[in-house]
Copies of this chain bind each other. A is one copy, B any other.
């Protein structure tokens, strides 16, 4: 009978020490494939260990494939094709953290998100507690793949009230942000035939379509928005647009162009329009611009929106409304996907909307943003900079365009601002095609996070460094 000269040492459990000993003997080739080991009882006696200890070691070795247990015969060594380098413990790879690389700016006109300080924290916390204490089981079971019904119903009411859109909760799909939903859309619509985009536009959307294997067709704009006449020649089958407030130019697509766009979609089967309504809640004057979705009679418009602007980007809750024929395709092909938003967040948001908190929050922040918009124009006036700057595209949303007339070049103006601690975003960087780039010096100014004092400081600084 094979003898195993095992000597316990150290503090680890005995079964573990014995397991490691036999394992290393096998890996070192001291135990040969096919060799029979002593029975559990024999080895226990031989090593003065309990049978339970030997059993623990043997069963782990069997589970990991070092030994084989043959019925009514005993334990046999299995072949181990261990490469020598496997014996060593693998070190933790030394991965450099993501380079922050960005210098710190005192003032940043990035367009992402609104003002976090306006988030109604105590209300949210109160509703969270309410959800946690009242919905135990519902919170833990998997949510409906399209999102919990309460939230979809609240979204439908919101859409009717804010956008005049009438849809059924069955058409709504809740998901972890508009980026995720765009990924899902490529899966639903297929990546053949080209995805048209506004140029300039929201740069990420091109990257998302490309990462999902779709060809991207940048389409230029004119004063009425996307040039629908260019769609046909582009060969695109799907078009992504921001018709109610173009990002970043602020253009509102007039009714005639909207109808032209819908007609384009109707001219071939399987043409679709993705209407990204990213900041429609923040129109400052007049009624909201009617959504394209409401004009669609042929089931070609997919309405997409999120709560990133109206509440907080970190919530990661977006939604889309599918026209009925696409909904049927989604239910056939993609309904197997689980909901990507935690049920807890979904119930909390539903309650937040049902009780009118979202309406009140939007009304409050809208007037706050409107005041900031006015403060920006005033600060430019006060600083004397308005002599060289003109502003446009600010009737809605949380950004506007500032065009500077200066003998200095745009890179120089941008650099001077950066040196003074002001981060500006040239319109150039929103273009996909080199050729159509802005010939002037225009900046996209996201002012959602700026206080009125900040805006005064920024324009005082800019007038000092740009005028002299």
Contacts and interface: CB of A to CB of B under 8 A. Distances in A.
A211 interface: yes
Contacts of A124: 132
B142 A113 contact: yes
Interface in A197-211: 204, 207-208, 211
Nearest to A79: B256
A129 interface: yes
Interface string A330-363: 0101111111111111000000000000000000
A136 B116 contact: yes
A70 interface: no
Contacts of A327: 95
B314 A81 contact: no
Q: Chain A, interface size: which category?
A: 35 or more
The residue in A96, A116, A257, A340 that gathers the most chain B C-beta atoms within 10 A of its C-beta is A340
Contacts of A85: 297
Contact of A211 (B80, B297, B334): B334
B342 A259 contact: no
Contact of A139 (B168, B179, B183, B314): B314
B213 A213 contact: yes
Nearest to A257: B65
Interface stretch (A56-64, A271-279, A381-389): A56-64
A324 interface: yes
Interface stretch (A287-295, A365-373, A431-439): A287-295
Contacts of A191: 213
Contacts of A15: 286
A176 interface: yes
Interface stretch (A247-255, A401-409, A419-427): A247-255
A121 B93 CA distance: 37
A95 B324 contact: yes
A312 interface: yes
Interface string A166-192: 111011000011011001000100010
A143 interface: yes
Nearest to A125: B132
Contact of A65 (B177, B253, B314): B253
A60 B287 contact: yes
Copies of this chain, how many?
Answer: 2
A160 to B, nearest CB: 9
Contact of A96 (B59, B170, B335): B170
Contacts of A335: 98
A144 B256 CA distance: 42
A39 interface: no
Contact of A93 (B212, B324, B343, B395): B324
A129 to B, nearest CB: 7
A159 B212 CA distance: 31
A179 B313 CA distance: 22
Interface string A260-302: 1000000000000000000000000111011000111100000
A66 B258 CA distance: 12
A228 to B, nearest CB: 12
A315 interface: yes
Contact of A255 (B80, B116, B132): B80
Given A78-B254, A94-B168, A254-B64, A314 B297 contact: no
Interface string A94-115: 1111100000000000001100
B312 A140 contact: yes
A255 B313 contact: no
A92 interface: yes
Nearest to A395: B63
B132 A121 contact: yes
A374 interface: no
B125 A129 contact: yes
Contacts of A315: 342, 344
B116 A140 contact: yes
Contacts of A411: none
Contact of A142 (B93, B259, B294, B314): B314
Contacts of A129: 125, 128-129
Closest 6 CB pairs of A and B: A65-B254, A116-B140, A95-B170, A176-B340, A60-B286, A314-B343
Given A125-B129, A313-B338, 6 more contacts: A63-B286, A65-B256, A85-B297, A91-B166, A116-B140, A142-B314
